[in-house]
Chain A
Amino acid sequence: MTLHARSSSVETQRAAAARLVYRKPDVLIDRATHYCPGCGHGVIHRLLAEVMTDLDLPAHTIAVAPVGCAVFIYDYLDVDFVEAPHGRAPAVATGIRRVRPEAFVLTYQGDGDLAAIGTAEIVHAAARGERITAIFVNNGIYGMTGGQMAPTTLLGQRTTSSPSGRDAELMGYPIRITEMLAQLPGVTYAARGSVADAGSIGRLKVMIRRACQVQIEGGGFAIVEVLSNCPVGWGMTPQESLEHLKGSVAEAYPLGVIVDRSAPSTARPAAAAATNPEA
């Protein structure tokens, strides 16, 4: 089965009358999700399923589910799953990694889970260079609990717990946690992608594939931050939310590979890479 990001393009669909160009990966369970209309989690799940299938990973994957909107990810991806307490997925994954060196270990966390309550766990898993692949979905809000402010919420953004907009003086500044993690030598790969449009999704898939390959190749910690949308939490239509994602959100969180220590010939010095992310 060949899977290309452009397979959803209209031209390819037309050509599909003659040959199979896209099939839902078996590891993606055929079930209606609980996600809100327009939510980006579905796209990210699909990309993961495609990459994992391409790399022949599902049969030896042990994945860690977060607390938050993606808590039910174990109902959508047909691999072994353990549920982690809120924020603790990187520690749980560390335990799995250490006793199951042959397993492919995956974590999937939101921004409240990873960048607020689970800050210590993600920083130290990265610092230890744990050979795990972390998917970090940043939609700037606590979606599951009704749209409260997250550490990643943009300045001025209205949420149910910042009803007048996020005020830096009272509520601090958004955290670019992936740039923080990229400083650590234990981090082999750190990148930020987006689900804003087909092009971004294609580039995101390349990042997710690289983050998985790093683990297979015996590298250290790999993380892909995914800028995603929350139309309901943001009070926008799905279309508006994608425009916002392309605009203000991507301005605050620049897209691109932040560090790649897996390829020494091409990798730039860590500090430079972290402060000067590729667009």
Chain B
Amino acid sequence: MAPRQEIEIGLRRTEAELEAGRRARVLMKGNEAIAEAAIQAGCDAYFGYPITPQAELLEWMARRMPEVGRVFVQAESELGAINMALGAAATGARVMVSSSSPGISLMAEAMSYMAGSGTPMVLVNVMRAGPGLGGIGPSQSDYFQATKGHGHGDYRVPVLAPASIGEAMKLMATAFELAERYRTPVMLVADGILGQAMEPVELRFRTPERQAFDWALTGAAGRPARIVKSLDLDPEVLERRNLALQQKYREIARHETRWEGWQLADAEFAIVAYGTAARVARSAIARAREKGMKVGLFRPITLWPFPERELARMSRQLHGILTVELSSGQMIEDVRLAVEGRCPVAFHGRMGGLVPTPDEVLGALKALRGRVERTRTTTSHDPATEHHPGDASANGTGVRTGARRRGRG
């Protein structure tokens, strides 16, 4: 745990000391850094329930929120926590909840209500391996849940995926900003490694400006009463509300898509990965470059909206793409939709709380290159080169060649 006095450097010193403090690098655990960044971003209230591997986030909030005169409540369940958040957020407060995968499933109901009623909130998911109670190891197997699902109905929420603790701290302010600008829940997804690991971070925080909300419930003194709700039994009215929501999502996709490229300028192959998987990918890419393979990294920072146009553009110069995830392959579906068969898309992933090694990823890259070279020499389909996760080798390396029939000839 990072010493508290260091964290407070940014809080109670002179401007010069404050600046020095901001530049100071301290060792912080991911969960605690995320929590402190939320506090510094002006989070008024936090509601939580203990679950591994995010318990330190709750514990940090339990100690720090009362210190700064803000609200902390340990709820009776994740249902309780997110509905407390719903109530507090409906009054215009800056509100956050956090949990890990099984808890997020419970929060799904209220996410849908908040999306439907336009209630801002930030939700952090420190993902663990599933399904069910699964395990407590790091995982990215909630990609579908975060980007396609959770609750019922036609809605989306922006999903931010940091790859380092420092980036997670930066994105907390962004998360509150997006939530309030677009009146929507926003998710920040980390995995057990980002939550549990310690990294040196700069104490640089940002507090998004407060907006005046013309929808917040504050008591109807001197104005007409306000209602924050999602219910509309008139189909025509409800469709109009849905159309407005979809318009909002198009706006978010237009203005808020974030991604990062690394060594892509001359790349013939790219790894698409986010979060911890992207860090493994970087190591693999460095080794591949040493061996003369021109490989770069395409790292989505927003999982929704997915940077599909940017990836589509990139795929025109690539011979092949390797998607690396801590899952059975979920984001790869969005990668394929973006690539539209312009180049082969292969997959490497580990499940159950395991993380791929750079060597495994390098192996998958080589397999992809071999596959591309073979399809370049023949246009005929060779079933012998098809692989599926788990059947290629004992260590779980597999190549999924989604665009194999359309490989460059």
Contact = CB atoms under 8 A, between A and B. Distances in A.
A and B co-occur in one complex: yes
Nearest to A80: B217
Contact of A79 (B71, B225, B231): B225
A82 B83 contact: no
Given A121-B76, A124-B76, A94 B84 contact: yes
A29 to B, nearest CB: 9
Interface residues of B, number: 39
A13 B332 CA distance: 74
A84 interface: yes
Contact of B83 (A62, A81, A85, A102): A85
B228 A99 contact: no
B360 to A, nearest CB: 43
Contact of B221 (A59, A81, A96, A98): A59
Given A81-B217, A98-B73, A99-B45, A93 B110 contact: no
A58 interface: yes
B213 to A, nearest CB: 12
B47 A83 contact: no
A36 interface: no
A126 to B, nearest CB: 11
Nearest to A94: B84
A88 B219 contact: no
A125 to B, nearest CB: 9
B84 A81 contact: no
A88 B75 CA distance: 12
B93 interface: yes
B84 A95 contact: yes
A226 interface: no
Contacts of B113: 83, 85
Given A79-B225, A85-B110, A91-B75, A96 B220 contact: no
Interface in B218-267: 218-222, 225-231
Interface string B90-118: 11010100000000000001100100010
A78 B84 contact: no
A85 B231 CA distance: 10
A179 to B, nearest CB: 20
Interface string B265-305: 00000000000000000000000000000000000000000
Contacts of A91: 75-76, 79-81, 83-84, 86-87
Nearest to A98: B71
Contacts of A74: 225, 227, 229
B48 to A, nearest CB: 12
Contacts of B45: 95, 98-99
Interface in A134-154: none
A100 B84 contact: no
Contacts of A65: 229
Interface in B41-95: 44-45, 47, 71, 73, 75-77, 79-81, 83-91, 93, 95
Contacts of B229: 65, 74, 81-83
Interface string A53-88: 000001111101100000100100011111111001
Given A85-B110, A121-B83, A99 B93 contact: yes
Nearest to A86: B109
A103 B88 contact: no
A19 to B, nearest CB: 30
Nearest to B90: A82
A93 B87 contact: yes
A214 interface: no
Contacts of B81: 91
A92 interface: yes
The CB with the most chain A CB atoms within 10 A, among B83, B85, B231, is that of B83
Which 8 residue pairs spanning A and B have beta carbons closest together? Answer: A95-B87, A95-B88, A91-B83, A92-B87, A60-B219, A95-B84, A59-B221, A83-B229
Given A58-B220, A95-B87, A96-B91, 20 more contacts: A59-B219, A59-B220, A74-B225, A78-B220, A79-B220, A80-B217, A80-B227, A81-B217, A82-B86, A88-B83, A91-B75, A91-B80, A95-B88, A95-B95, A96-B87, A96-B90, A98-B88, A99-B91, A103-B218, A103-B219
